[in-house]
Amino acid sequence: MPPASPELHLPYHPPFDWPGILRFLSARLLKGVERTDESSYTRTVRLDGAVGSVRVRLAPDRDALLVDPDRTLKPVIAALRARLRALFDLDARPDVIAECLSRDERLAPSLSRSPGLRVPGAFDGFELGVRAILGQQVTVRAATTIAGRFAAAFGEPITTPFPALTHLSPTPDRLAAATVEEVASVGIIQARARSIIALAQAVATGSLPLQPGADPAETIARLVTLPGIGPWTAQYIAMRALRWPDAFPRGDVALLNRLGGVKPSEAEALSQAWRPWRSYAVLHLWHSTQ
């Protein structure tokens, strides 16, 4: 099992909606690679040549997350820390964000209920991109089922202390070399399989960095040139993988409905008042529909 004492304390600016971020991640798990329960998140890790697993939970006595990594991950602790800070949006300033968003009465109820709502990031940008493609035009539940089959088919098996964690996340190199028929065999249409392969090839060659710090405008422009990736998927990837706080998937149906059934152009106009925190406004609006 992981060490009894946590190896890392990752501080955050309170408040922090830990149950909310666990619910969001739980609904979108890559089964076999990730697992959640009522109090923790665990996943397999491949990072700079090291492999293992990690468990994350809320500290009971301080504004921090506690991280229990396998001993095999000690050589990459600094990189692991950065990945987890991005995944759990630990650098967010809820007070600054709320000061801007609270001016809009449509956001006020969610801000009141969940003042520490975070925008979940991505442990791995390619993994998030694949998960976004698998989620196109299907329910969240259906996408999670397909994602589990995908991880089992293309992820490398690994033994961990957690029975639910059985595979490493599929790599861009592995998917870049796959055929459309292979990828489609997990239960997706061939067009979506082509999208995943095209994304894998772009990431594997280094022409498409999907990580915090990458230029959002350039990345979105590159993403929408790939087959099957439209503005919604590109904005969603920018929101989570790039950690862009101002992403806005203007055509999202739930978002448009929550704004009163407006058109995408009207939603875009309304969103200007939320800049540069539109990603957080979107999460609050999605949260209000639940």
Residue 44 has what pLDDT? 98
- Is the per-residue pLDDT at 182 higher than 70? yes
Q: Per-residue pLDDT tens for 39-59?
A: 999 999 999 999 999 999 999
Q: How many domains does the chain have?
A: 1
**Band of residue 138 on the pLDDT scale cut at 50, 70, 90:** confident
Residue 45 lies in a domain: no
Q: Is residue 269 part of a domain?
A: no
* Inside any domain, residue 107: no
CA distance 45 to 43: 6
17 phi, psi to nearest 5 deg:
-85, 80
Q: Give the CATH number, domain containing residue 137.
A: 1.10.340.30
Residue 5 maps to a domain: no
Q: Which residues contact 21 (CB under 8 A, 6 or more apart)?
A: 88, 89, 118, 120
Helix (H, G, I), strand (E, B) or coil at 130: helix
- Are the C-beta atoms of residues 257 and 287 closer than 8 Å to each other? no
Give pLDDT, residue 111: 94
Domain range for residue 137? 125-240
Q: Residues of the chain with pLDDT > 90: what percent?
A: 92
16 belongs to a structural domain: no
Residue 257 lies in a domain: no
- Which residues are tagged catalytic? 252
